[in-house]
Amino acid sequence: MDNEMIIITDAHLSKARGNHAIFFRMLKSLEKNNQDLIFLGDIFDLWVALPRYEEEIHRDFIAWCRNQKSRRSIGYMEGNHEYYLANERASDFTWCSMNAWRRDATGVLFVHGDRVNRDDKNYLAFRKLVKNKISKFIICHLPFGPKITLSIKQGLKKTNASFRLQLPKAEIEDFAQARFAEGVNVIFMGHFHRQYRYRNRDARELHVLPDWLSTQKVTIYHRDSKETKSMHWEEMGV
């Protein structure tokens, strides 16, 4: 069990969706073991994870991670539905990264994936706009910050809809090959809400993981055997 990690991505928790009760039931079941946990991003269904935007369920999730990190490693890759989480909440996790990716000492790389598709120019421009000091001040402090954020979010959904209809396999595989050339052995990616595996001639693999939102699946990776399995969380047998 100590050689296993559980990876969860794209739950998009919100009271409006009503999916939080099942998610917290899963977290409760995970308390029976001490496997490392990696959250690959978009566990929240926000755009910015600042206090004025958080719901109670998001604060409850953060509290759970904070309590659990004393008995296991809890890692978090900031996704595109929780900007600034790494700035505001890093101390609540073992590690929390806003970088494009994070590589561990064994050559395993974790990436949310929102910056992989270089053709999604509208989103990349939006991300650059939001992730600067002036935008953060407006979003965080000014009364009209939430209204601006909601307006941009709704507009962006329309402009990048085509990129959600088809998995950008060429971009994903190019990304994988570049990381493999740097010595990475296996890559775990979220964001795309599709399950996909790419394996190169050297048997190095990239796994695009299923989103928890529509599948309630988690992924278990065994460090020794390098075996990767995705399954419904109730099938883990914890």
Q: Which amino acid is at 219?
A: T
Number of structural domains (the chain) is 1
| Sign for the pseudo-dihedral over CA of 120, 111, 150, 141 | negative
DSSP 8-state symbol, 148? H
| Sign for the pseudo-dihedral over CA of 169, 172, 76, 136 | negative
User: Which string of DSSP letters, residue by residue, matches 166-190?
Assistant: S--HHHHHHHHHHHHHTT--EEEE-
Give the pLDDT confidence score for residue 46 in this predicted structure. 84
Q: Give the residue ranges of the chain where pLDDT is below 50.
A: none
CA distance 125 to 159: 12
Give the pLDDT confidence score for residue 152 in this predicted structure. 66
The stretches of the chain forming alpha helices (DSSP H) are 20-30, 56-68, 85-89, 121-130, 133-141, 145-159, 169-181, 212-215
**DSSP H/E element including 199:** strand 196-199
Give the pLDDT confidence score for residue 135 in this predicted structure. 79
CA distance 15 to 201: 45
Nearest one of 236, 180, 233, 234 to 206, comparing CA atoms: 180
Are the C-beta atoms of 234 and 217 separated by less than 8 Å?
A: no
Containing domain of residue 125, as a range?
4-235
Sorted by sequence, the CB contacts under 8 Å of residue 48 that are 6+ apart come out as 82, 83, 84, 130, 139, 140, 149
CA distance 220 to 195: 14
* CATH assignment at residue 48: 3.60.21.10
CA gyration radius, the chain: 17
CA distance 78 to 8: 13
pTM comes to: 0.92
Q: What is the pLDDT of residues 124-144, one digit of tens each?
A: 888 887 788 887 887 777 777
